[in-house]
Amino acid sequence: MSLVCELITWKTVQRLARSLAFKLVDASFTPDIIVAIGRGGCVPARIVADYLQVFRVTSIKIEHYTMGAQRQRQARIRYPLTVDVSGMNVLIVDDVNDSGDTLILAKEHIDSHEPREIRTAVLHHKIVSHFQPDFAARGIVKWRWLIYPWAVIEDLTGFIMQMENQPLSPVNIAQRLERDYHITVSREMLHDVLALMSWHQNHSLDQ
């Protein structure tokens, strides 16, 4: 498998979330509540809420991608909205707008709860998407899989599990990640991934 990826750092997340918050300020949109799309939108939503001093933050969960960037056929709501947003200005926040399916479904779902207005915001917007968010901190012209710091263990685990000729040494795995996914992984990060893979495997055998 070959997939062009980009590792997103915490510093980059902070910078993009700040940019997103000030885009909202410039647009004079004041959300009464922020709805994060879980799991990826939870951290960006909290940072934006801090900048805007929005104290009502909740989440919904929409499943679209599984481990290692393997995509399901259709987005679906796993955990729906559980709070009353009727008459409110709602800001939906996610980490990335890829195909657009997630944001479309989220907006339709929240719209059924009769808010005053809904706006959407993402850290990254891929221009190949068929949905245009209201706010995006950064546009992605050349498609690539973005690995956020809150999903790095999950994504790297998926990539490693798909590698042929197992078992592989850490050096071999690092080389394969560079060759097949165009990412350079630190020794510490790779150690953590492999240690946790071993722990999960042993844990499942004990069940």
CATH code where residue 28 lies:
3.40.50.2020
| Higher-scoring residue by pLDDT: 71, 96 | 96
| Contact in structure between 135 and 24 (CB atoms under 8 Å) | yes
Give the model confidence (pLDDT) of 90-133 as tens digits: 999 999 999 999 999 999 999 999 999 999 999 999 999 999 99
For residue 74, being part of any structural domain is answered with yes
| Residues 102-107: contacts with CB under 8 Å, at least 24 apart | 102/37, 102/62, 102/64, 102/75, 103/37, 103/131, 103/133, 104/131, 105/62, 105/75, 105/76, 105/77, 106/35, 106/37, 106/60, 106/62
pLDDT of residue 207: 54
For residue 156, being part of any structural domain is answered with yes
Give yes or no: residues 73 and 121 share one domain: yes
pLDDT of residue 206: 59
Band of residue 67 on the pLDDT scale cut at 50, 70, 90: very low
| Contact residues for 134 (Cβ-Cβ < 8 A; gap 6+) | 27, 29, 119, 120, 121
H or E stretch including 5? strand 5-7
Give yes or no: residues 84 and 103 share one domain: yes
Give yes or no: residues 105 and 159 share one domain: no
| Contact in structure between 155 and 147 (CB atoms under 8 Å) | yes
pLDDT of residue 202: 84
pLDDT of residue 2: 81
Give yes or no: residues 157 and 127 share one domain: no
What is the spatial distance between Cα 7 and Cα 42, in angstroms, rounded to a whole number? Answer: 18
Number of separate domains in the chain: 2
pLDDT of residue 130: 95
Of 144, 161, 188, the residue that ends a domain is 144
Band of residue 38 on the pLDDT scale cut at 50, 70, 90: very high
161: domain range? Answer: 151-201
Give yes or no: residues 50 and 86 share one domain: yes
> Mean of the pLDDT values across residues 153-170?
91
pLDDT of residue 205: 61
> Mean of the pLDDT values across residues 155-159?
96
- What is the pLDDT of the chain when averaged over all its residues? 93
For residue 133, being part of any structural domain is answered with yes
pTM: predicted TM-score of the whole model, two decimal places: 0.91
Give yes or no: residues 52 and 26 share one domain: yes
Give the model confidence (pLDDT) of 4-27 as tens digits: 999 999 999 999 999 999 999 999
And the tokens for 1?
A: 């498998």
Query: Strand 145-147 and strand 89-97: pairing?
Result: unpaired
Give yes or no: residues 23 and 62 share one domain: yes
Of 144, 160, 177, the residue that ends a domain is 144
Give yes or no: residues 180 and 82 share one domain: no
pLDDT of residue 166: 81
Give yes or no: residues 119 and 36 share one domain: yes
pLDDT of residue 180: 95
Give yes or no: residues 114 and 197 share one domain: no
For residue 207, being part of any structural domain is answered with no
Band of residue 136 on the pLDDT scale cut at 50, 70, 90: very high
Lowest mean pLDDT among 53-57, 93-97, 194-198: 194-198
Give yes or no: residues 184 and 118 share one domain: no
Amino acid identity of residue 78, one-letter, is R
Lowest mean pLDDT among 27-31, 64-68, 135-139, 177-181: 64-68
| Contact in structure between 131 and 104 (CB atoms under 8 Å) | yes
